[in-house]
Amino acid sequence: MTYTATEMMTIAAARALRNDDVCFVGIGLPSAACNVARLTHAPAVTLIYESGTIATKPNVLPLSIGDGELCETALTTVSVPEMFRYWLQGGRITVGFLGGAQVDRYGNLNSTVIGSYRRPKVRLPGAGGATEICASCGRVFIVMRQDARAFVSRLDFITTLGHGPTGRERRALGLATAGPVLLVTDLCTFEPEPETKEFVVTALHPGITCQQVRENTGWPVRFALELGETPAPTAHELETLRELNARTARAHGEAAAK
Amino acid sequence: MGSFGKLSEAIAGLVRDGDTVALEGFTHLIPFAAGHEIIRQKRRELTLIRMTPDLLYDQMIGAGCARKLIFSWGGNPGVGSLHRLRDAVENSWPQPLEIEEHSHAAMANAYAAGASGLPCAIFRGYQGVDLPVVNSNIRLVTCPFTGESLACVPAHRPDVAIIHAQKADRQGNVLLEGIVGVQKEAVLAARRSLVTVEEVVDDFGPRSPNAIILPAWVVTAVVVVPGGARPSYAHGYYSRDNSFYVSWDAIAKDRGKFQEWMGQNVLRPA
């Protein structure tokens, strides 16, 4: 089956989740990936959204983090202060799944401003839950479309700490959690080197060249010595994702018609 | 004590120019009707608190109600930017907007601290990031027992909290359920509060296990406003108008289109 780069990205990201993970899900690309995981190889994965919905099993993807679908299909729903205090800060979540507007080579994220904070060129939405999700979840996966404007050598603003501006700050601060351990894009998969924490390309998606990755990365990107190739999406993975997207389009269309 | 008066009278009595106001509701139960009444009554110089400003604060900011915004995520969920918020921050239109920016964890903790009668909230957060550089209300405290450095922000103590809920009973007790967000904390943190509800019932009857009840004596006023959360949603009553959230992008992008839409849909007396 043929597939798009976005489908490859979503499916590659989905594969990182395990059945025994308890995952704090960001809206958009992370939400699609997490639900594909739940509908394929990880049916028992626990998905948590910051609106307070715990162990939710949405039949369609939410447009917003607090859609009714998430509450109706959840094991339970708690208040937002409880979610951030007992569940996230309390250390009960194994994986945070995040997107972002900009990322650097150490997995730090900017979703606040392009340009200066006081006189921004572009004002982005801001931190939301990401800052503490990235600090308190056991480990963090990032999924983002890759281009040289989003994958930058220096962030204008650190909204969310990955491994720190030089790769050493997270460890120096004494955070007990692993931070970003995986970055999945529409071109490839990055993982941090164990010592430097610099994200290096560990696998190219099928048909993607190193040159394409270089052209779409704003820092001098490095490749792992044993560079792998991401297995192409299986028919089952693709069908699951496409059915989910079709159900979502129908549901949001129907909700709109009411 | 519940009063069941008119929305216009409740807003006139509870919201004053210069007040710090929190209209809360996390995607669910956003009190649009009450916010629109604030716009119609031309309240000015408000400090608006809300975790996710959403379309409602985009409208209030674009209408010139706000002097300052305290928030943690200012986007149109799943769609993109809040263009009126951006225009105010980037171009001072229709007037300059001071922003005090936090993370969700900080905002949620600040409401809980306000509801608890504490001056500040303490939590583990903000390590190694830039928000404390641009927001002097983010400080550090040292735990006296362990020596751990923890984040500290002022408690939210709004002059007025406004929320929308599913039901009130005849005594003015309020019930909300589904995604309950920070509304209980916002009401308990505020000096005055207004709850708009879908309906008044004789008895709440069977409730879902996570139903939140706000006793009448913690609520200043209750007003019946069916559909008062549209285009957000009220669990059990109506669903979120996702297509309106999508179409807001084009309306809000252009100052003229925004003003025309507001004139036709908000400024006309309800």
Please tell me the distance in Å from A166's CA to the nearest CA on chain B.
12
User: Is residue B169 located within the same domain as residue B40?
Assistant: yes
Per the structure, the complete domain to which residue B119 belongs is given by 113-154
Please tell me the distance in Å from B12's CA to the nearest CA on chain A.
30
pLDDT at A245 over 50: yes
- Global pTM reads 0.96
User: Is residue B44 located within the same domain as residue B170?
Assistant: yes
User: Is residue B19 located within the same domain as residue B142?
Assistant: no
Chain B residue with the nearest C-alpha to that of A251: B242
User: Is residue B166 located within the same domain as residue B131?
Assistant: no
Residue contact B51–A28, C-beta within 8 A: no
Residues 84-123 on A with a CB inside 8 Å of B are: 84-85, 88-89, 112, 117-118, 120, 122-123
Residue contact B72–A127, C-beta within 8 A: yes
The ipTM (two decimal places) reads 0.95
A63-76 tens-digit pLDDT: 888 889 999 999 99
Strand B212-214 vs strand B174-176: parallel, antiparallel, or unpaired? antiparallel
User: Is residue B18 located within the same domain as residue B147?
Assistant: no
Please tell me the distance in Å from B10's CA to the nearest CA on chain A.
27
Residue A43 lies in a domain: yes
- Mark whether A237 is an active-site residue: no
Catalytic residue, chosen from A7, A50, A69, A237, is: A50
Which residues, 6 or more positions from A189, have their beta carbon under 8 angstroms from its beta carbon? A12, A182, A183, A201, A202, A203, A205, A230
User: Is residue B193 located within the same domain as residue B244?
Assistant: yes
* pLDDT tens by residue, chain B, 270 residues: 445 899 999 999 999 999 999 999 999 999 999 999 999 999 999 999 999 999 999 999 999 999 999 999 999 998 999 999 999 999 999 999 999 999 999 999 999 999 999 999 999 999 999 999 999 999 999 999 999 999 999 999 999 999 999 999 999 999 999 999 999 999 999 999 999 999 999 999 888 766 899 999 999 999 999 999 999 999 999 999 999 999 999 999 999 999 999 999 999 855
User: Is residue B124 located within the same domain as residue B211?
Assistant: no
Residue type at position B32? F
Residues 238-267 on B with a CB inside 8 Å of A are: 238-245
Residue A218 lies in a domain: yes
Of B123, B154, B185, the residue that ends a domain is B154
Residue B45 lies in a domain: yes
Residue A255 lies in a domain: no
Task: Please provide the average confidence, as pLDDT, over all residues in chain A.
Answer: 95
Residue contact A256–B244, C-beta within 8 A: yes
In angstroms, what is the C-alpha Rg of chain A?
18
Instruction: Using alpha carbons, select from A202, A213, A152 the residue that is nearest to residue A5.
Output: A213
Q: Which of A27, A93, A98, A132 to mutate to test the interface with B (most CBs of B within 10 A)?
A: A132
**Count of domains forming chain B:** 2
Chain B CB contacts of A85 below 8 Å: 108-109, 112, 123
User: Is residue B191 located within the same domain as residue B82?
Assistant: yes
- In this prediction, residue A1 has a pLDDT band, given cuts at 50, 70 and 90, of confident
Sheet holding B149-154, edge to edge: B120-123, B149-154, B139-142
Residue B269 is predicted with a pLDDT of 59
CATH for B211: 3.40.1080.10
Per the structure, the complete domain to which residue A193 belongs is given by 5-250
Peptide bond into A220 cis (omega under 30): no
Residue A126 lies in a domain: yes
Contact B136, B92 (CB under 8 A): no
Residue contact A131–B125, C-beta within 8 A: yes
Which residues, 6 or more positions from A38, have their beta carbon under 8 angstroms from its beta carbon? A17, A45, A47, A57
Residue B194 lies in a domain: yes
Strands (DSSP E) contained in chain A are: 22-25, 46-48, 53-54, 76-77, 95-98, 102-103, 109-110, 113-115, 120-123, 139-143, 180-184, 188-192, 199-204, 223-229
User: Is residue B16 located within the same domain as residue B82?
Assistant: yes
**Count of domains forming chain A:** 1
User: Is residue B63 located within the same domain as residue B74?
Assistant: yes
A89-141 tens-digit pLDDT: 999 999 999 998 999 999 999 999 999 999 999 999 999 999 999 999 999 99
Beta bridge partners of B100: B70
Residue A258 is predicted with a pLDDT of 33
| Residues written for chain A | 258
What is the Cα–Cα distance from B246 to B233, expressed in whole angstroms?
15
Q: Say whether residue A146 is in contact with chain B using an 8 A CB cutoff.
A: no
Residue A256 lies in a domain: no
Q: Which of B150, B239, B241 to mutate to test the interface with A (most CBs of A within 10 A)?
A: B239
User: Is residue B195 located within the same domain as residue B222?
Assistant: yes
Residues 202-231 on B with a CB inside 8 Å of A are: 209-210, 212
Residue contact A128–B102, C-beta within 8 A: no
What is the Cα–Cα distance from A100 to B266, expressed in whole angstroms?
34
Beta bridge partners of A183: A142, A190
HEC string of A159-202 equals CECCCCCCCCHHHHHCCCCCCEEEEECCCEEEEECCCCCCEEEE
A200-241 tens-digit pLDDT: 999 999 999 999 999 999 999 999 999 999 999 999 999 999
User: Is residue B117 located within the same domain as residue B181?
Assistant: no
CATH for A134: 3.40.1080.10
Residue B69 lies in a domain: yes
Please tell me the distance in Å from B42's CA to the nearest CA on chain A.
27
Picking from B78, B127, B241, the nearest residue to A173 by CB comes out as B127
Residue B270 is predicted with a pLDDT of 53
